[in-house]
């Protein structure tokens, strides 16, 4: 069912309805846009009933201290509003509040635009809504129609309201370098809870995704509201719950304290803040997000991602032609389809101390340039890609010696170095043009198939000396990254991009509009990776989740893990190889080649199927992918405390009436048995046990 937008003029009520969701808003007497409904589909009459209830609800209530205006779609600073403001502006005469005047609305197929203006000042605001399946995209535009600047102190994409109740629970993602995407689920306090990045990138520490439930939802049941911001720079989401149980959240780009001076005639448009509602629990929410990412976000929607090899953990900065050729030969022998040379190939980049910004091959390491390596990689049957860090510069580089003013900096302030590097100000058109130019030439000259686009430090001293509105750098830099990627893709249609920021520091719906996969973490320890992938998969589908098999003991954790377990964990996403293959034994190479081949068999189901998270007793967890009649189960049991046998692993996504055959053992299982007593698992004894099971449905009723 295509989405529809209806209007009820008497109540000035709009209703957006998708396949299993409705969203309704209305104009209040003061012309503010009030929230009416977010949940299952309702008719226009039912929405009208809900609107009337809201109209009758006493806001303000009992005392002069309890004044309020009810749930709004973009609460402004001003009037009797004391919660987090989604729009804060200051006019030239010092007035800060906004008072609304409705000026129009436009309904198009699946979208709605509500136009508002300030009652006195020349500020226009448009609230945008677009239903993409059951995901509602929302964003805001503010325009200065006057002749003097207006300071925009905060402009969120949207404010969302969830039903009031005795309890709310907040799910969100936290982490750090090497431990990204760890899922936190806890009661939402009666307070304002801020999720934010002040780092200029999405960040390892928090991700602009959240889910709210009433404390009773589970993996496959219960009402869940979830939202994600499509932005790759600093951001802020404020979640609030008041003592009477009303709750919601507002979010957008930029962290607190930044401002944007809106020039006469100028419009500021926010990124999309997307939201969804489901009664199918956290798993249902994830599957809706995965569908949305696949159908609405990714630039290449149907492609199957290749098995890549990446040189980083094998060589560090120590790359040269002979070494890369040796790795390439091994990688091709294992079945890799894409060879990516990581850091260390350019300028004086023999360590993290120098060379960033000088994007020409190191003449000692690659005396013949990169073309012979690229040609040999292709002769071996693989595509060729390179690591780059286009937004950064080492002070010890020709680029910085020539253009010390190109970096983010502030007069009279130190330039804080992290990993011996500074951030280029891509908000500057000249710096962005230079960046695009060298990237375009490099991609064109070598016919590059793949870029790993890295960014290894946050912003500090994020100034723009000489610019009249220096805070703009936060928005302008991220937008420039987007524009450069978009142009590269348009001009080089075969080019694919991996988003990386020291691992998972830049994973969001904004970057995924122009990239194909994400590097979720520099932590490649398969045991740690289970939790990282669990958090990552709340929002992102397997087809964008890069996952390498690397050496054992693991370079970061020192943990020793069998090859099979490492593979089974990495097979849950886009499989890659990242170890020093020249040191692998003949037996390891043979086993690895077999596992790569096994991945290629299940890859269509993993990358294009629907994912159901499953868990058994103890540490047993897994993912069950379904594509038509084909099913793939990857399950991992990292440890077996007290020697207890883990299980059962109940498969929630099977039809109880169906019959399923295990393609490797030939055993058949009824759907009813898989659902109730679970999948019989042939888990090896001891720690680090894992299985890959392939089932196909064999009854005709499918
Ligand atoms: C950080 C990335 O996450 C690593 O995979 C690697 O590319 C290094 N940067 C290279 O400096």
Q: How far is the CA of 636 from the centre of ligand 1 (A)?
A: 27
According to the model, what pLDDT value does residue 331 have?
98
DSSP 396: B
Name the residue at shortest CA distance from atom 10 of ligand 1: 343
Q: How far is the CA of 51 from the centre of ligand 1 (A)?
A: 52
Alpha carbons 536 and 543: distance in angstroms, whole number: 12
- Residue 470's H or E segment, with its range, is none
Q: How far is the CA of 389 from the centre of ligand 1 (A)?
A: 9
Name the residue at shortest CA distance from atom 11 of ligand 1: 343
Paired with 23 in beta bridges are 16, 38
The list of the chain residues with pLDDT below 50 reads: none
Q: How far is the CA of 67 from the centre of ligand 1 (A)?
A: 52
Two tokens, residue 157: 């994409």
Q: Tens digits of per-residue pLDDT, 345-366?
A: 999 999 999 999 999 999 999 9
According to the model, what pLDDT value does residue 204 have?
98
Name the residue at shortest CA distance from atom 2 of ligand 1: 502
Mutation test of ligand 1: which of 454, 503, 550 has the most ligand atoms closer than 8 Å to its C-beta? 454
* Omega before 60 within 30 of 0, i.e. cis: yes
According to the model, what pLDDT value does residue 122 have?
98
Spell out which residues line ligand 1, taking CB within 6 angstroms.
Answer: 312, 342-343, 387, 454, 456, 500, 502-503, 519, 522
| Residue 577 C-alpha from the chain's centroid | 23
Two tokens, residue 445: 């000259």
Q: How far is the CA of 291 from the centre of ligand 1 (A)?
A: 29
Phi and psi at 15, nearest 5°, equal -130, 120
Q: How far is the CA of 520 from the centre of ligand 1 (A)?
A: 11
Two tokens, residue 21: 């969701």
Q: Tens digits of per-residue pLDDT, 23-76?
A: 999 999 999 999 999 999 999 999 999 999 977 766 556 788 877 788 999 999
Q: 308-605 adopts what CATH topology?
A: TIM Barrel (3.20.20)
According to the model, what pLDDT value does residue 701 have?
61
Alpha carbons 309 and 425: distance in angstroms, whole number: 32
Contact 133, 264 (CB under 8 A): no
Two tokens, residue 366: 């690659």
Two tokens, residue 354: 């120098």
Q: How far is the CA of 452 from the centre of ligand 1 (A)?
A: 9
Two tokens, residue 95: 């007035």
Q: Where are the domains of the chain?
A: 72-297, 308-605, 614-698
Name the residue at shortest CA distance from atom 1 of ligand 1: 502
DSSP 65: G
Mutation test of ligand 1: which of 201, 455, 522 has the most ligand atoms closer than 8 Å to its C-beta? 522
Contact 452, 342 (CB under 8 A): yes
Alpha carbons 211 and 168: distance in angstroms, whole number: 10
Contact 302, 328 (CB under 8 A): no
Q: What is the CATH number of domain 72-297?
A: 2.70.98.60
Helix axes 371-379, 321-334, angle to 10 degrees: 20
Which ligand 1 atom is at minimum distance from the Cα of 501? 3
According to the model, what pLDDT value does residue 99 have?
97
CA distances from 116 to 101, 120, 124, 449 (A): 6, 12, 6, 46
Which ligand 1 atom is at minimum distance from the Cα of 452? 7
In angstroms, the first-to-last Cα distance of the chain is 22
What is the dihedral sign for C-alpha 690, 694, 697, 698?
negative
Mutation test of ligand 1: which of 308, 456, 520 has the most ligand atoms closer than 8 Å to its C-beta? 456
Name the residue at shortest CA distance from atom 6 of ligand 1: 312
Residue 490: exposure state from Cβ atoms within 10 A (0-12, 13-18, ≥19): exposed
According to the model, what pLDDT value does residue 596 have?
99
Contact 201, 258 (CB under 8 A): no
Q: How far is the CA of 481 from the centre of ligand 1 (A)?
A: 18
Residue closest to 155 by CA, chosen among 125, 182, 131: 125
Q: How far is the CA of 502 from the centre of ligand 1 (A)?
A: 5
* Omega before 585 within 30 of 0, i.e. cis: no
Q: 614-698 adopts what CATH topology?
A: Immunoglobulin-like (2.60.40)
Q: How far is the CA of 263 from the centre of ligand 1 (A)?
A: 40
Residue closest to 253 by CA, chosen among 41, 476, 12: 476
31 as an active site residue: the answer is: no
pTM > 0.75: yes
Which ligand 1 atom is at minimum distance from the Cα of 503? 3
Two tokens, residue 525: 């320890």
Which ligand 1 atom is at minimum distance from the Cα of 522? 3
Alpha carbons 343 and 299: distance in angstroms, whole number: 26
Two tokens, residue 697: 């449905």
Mutation test of ligand 1: which of 312, 386, 458 has the most ligand atoms closer than 8 Å to its C-beta? 312
Catalytic residue among 454, 516, 528, 551: 454
Pairing of strands 224-229, 206-213: antiparallel
Two tokens, residue 443: 């991609």
Contact 138, 252 (CB under 8 A): no
- Within 10 angstroms of residue 556's Cβ, the number of other Cβ atoms is 16
- Within 10 angstroms of residue 183's Cβ, the number of other Cβ atoms is 18
**Could you give the angle at the alpha carbon of 146 between the alpha carbons of 140 and 151, nearest 5°?**
55
DSSP notation for 482-518? HHHHHHHHHHSTT-EEEE-BTTBSS-STTGGGS-SEE
Alpha carbons 587 and 632: distance in angstroms, whole number: 26
Alpha carbons 280 and 613: distance in angstroms, whole number: 13
- Within 10 angstroms of residue 359's Cβ, the number of other Cβ atoms is 21
Q: Which residue has the tokens 């930029």?
A: 254
Name the residue at shortest CA distance from atom 5 of ligand 1: 522
Two tokens, residue 635: 């399950």
Catalytic residue among 522, 525, 528, 551: 522
According to the model, what pLDDT value does residue 381 have?
98
Q: Which residue has the tokens 């006469």?
A: 264
525 as an active site residue: the answer is: no
Alpha carbons 132 and 137: distance in angstroms, whole number: 7
Paired with 437 in beta bridges are none
């Amino acid at each position: 069912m295509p989405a529809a937008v209806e209007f009820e003029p008497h109540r000035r009520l709009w209703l957006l309805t998708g396949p299993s969701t409705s969203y309704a808003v209305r104009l209040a007497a003061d012309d503010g846009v009030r929230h009416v409904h977010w949940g299952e589909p309702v008719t226009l009459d039912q929405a009208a009933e809900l609107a009337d209830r809201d109209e009758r609800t006493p806001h303000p209530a009992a005392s002069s201290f309890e004044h309020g205006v009810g749930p709004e779609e973009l609460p402004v600073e001003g009037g009797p509003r004391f919660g987090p403001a989604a729009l804060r502006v200051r006019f030239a005469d010092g007035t800060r509040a906004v008072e609304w005047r409705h000026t129009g609305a436009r309904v198009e197929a699946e979208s709605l635009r509500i136009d508002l203006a300030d009652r006195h000042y020349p500020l226009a605001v448009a609230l945008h809504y677009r239903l993409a399946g059951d995901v509602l995209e929302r964003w805001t535009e503010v325009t200065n129609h006057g002749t003097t600047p207006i300071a925009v102190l905060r402009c969120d994409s949207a404010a969302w309201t969830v039903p009031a109740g005795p309890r709310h629970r907040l799910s969100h993602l936290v982490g750090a370098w090497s431990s990204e995407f760890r899922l936190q689920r806890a009661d939402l306090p009666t307070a304002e809870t801020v999720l934010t990045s002040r780092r200029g990138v999405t960040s390892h520490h928090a991700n602009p995704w959240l889910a709210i439930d009433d404390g009773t939802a589970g993996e496959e049941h219960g009402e869940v509201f979830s939202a994600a911001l499509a932005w790759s720079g600093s951001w802020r989401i404020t979640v609030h719950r008041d003592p009477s149980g009303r709750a919601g959240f507002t979010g957008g780009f930029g962290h607190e304290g930044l401002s944007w001076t809106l020039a006469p005639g100028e419009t500021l448009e926010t990124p999309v803040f997307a939201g969804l509602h489901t009664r199918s629990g956290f798993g249902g929410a994830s599957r809706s997000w995965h569908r949305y990412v696949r159908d609405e976000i990714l630039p290449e929607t149907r492609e199957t991602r290749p098995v890549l090899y990446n040189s980083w953990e094998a060589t560090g900065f120590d790359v040269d032609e002979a070494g890369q050729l040796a790795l390439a030969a091994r990688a091709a022998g294992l079945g890799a389809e894409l060879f990516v040379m990581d850091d260390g190939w350019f300028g004086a980049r023999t360590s993290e101390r120098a060379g960033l910004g000088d994007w020409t091959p190191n003449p000692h390491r690659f005396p013949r340039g990169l073309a012979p390596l690229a040609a040999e990689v292709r002769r071996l049957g693989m595509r060729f890609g390179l690591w780059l860090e286009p937004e950064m510069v080492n002070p010890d580089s020709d680029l910085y010696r020539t253009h010390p003013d190109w970096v983010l900096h502030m007069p009279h302030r130190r330039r804080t170095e992290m990993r011996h590097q500074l951030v280029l100000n891509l908000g500057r058109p000249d710096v962005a043009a230079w960046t695009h130019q060298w990237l375009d030439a490099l991609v064109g000259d070598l016919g590059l198939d793949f870029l790993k686009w890295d960014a290894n430090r946050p912003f500090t001293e994020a100034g723009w000396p000489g610019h009249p509105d220096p805070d703009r750098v936060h928005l302008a830099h991220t937008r420039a990254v987007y524009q450069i990627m978009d142009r590269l893709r348009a001009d080089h249609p075969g080019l694919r991009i991996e988003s990386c920021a020291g691992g998972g520091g830049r994973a969001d719906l904004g970057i995924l509009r122009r990239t194909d996969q994400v590097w979720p973490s520099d932590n490649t320890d398969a045991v740690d990776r289970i939790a990282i992938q669990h958090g990552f998969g709340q929002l992102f589908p397997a087809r964008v989740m890069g996952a390498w098999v690397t050496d054992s003991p693991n370079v970061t954790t020192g943990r020793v893990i069998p090859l099979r377990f490492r593979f089974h964990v990495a097979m849950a996403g886009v499989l890659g190889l990242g170890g020093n293959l020249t040191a692998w034994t003949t037996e390891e190479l043979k086993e690895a080649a077999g596992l790569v081949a096994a991945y290629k068999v299940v890859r269509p189901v993993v990358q294009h199927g629907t994912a159901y998270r499953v868990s058994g007793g103890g540490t047993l967890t897994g993912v069950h992918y379904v594509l038509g009649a084909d099913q793939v189960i990857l399950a991992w049991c990292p440890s077996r405390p007290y020697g207890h046998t883990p299980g059962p692993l109940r498969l929630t996504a099977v039809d109880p009436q169906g019959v399923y055959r295990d393609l490797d053992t030939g055993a058949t299982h009824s759907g009813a048995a898989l659902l109730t007593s679970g999948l019989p698992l042939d888990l090896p004894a001891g720690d680090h046990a894992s299985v890959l099971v392939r089932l196909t449905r064999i009854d005709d009723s499918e």
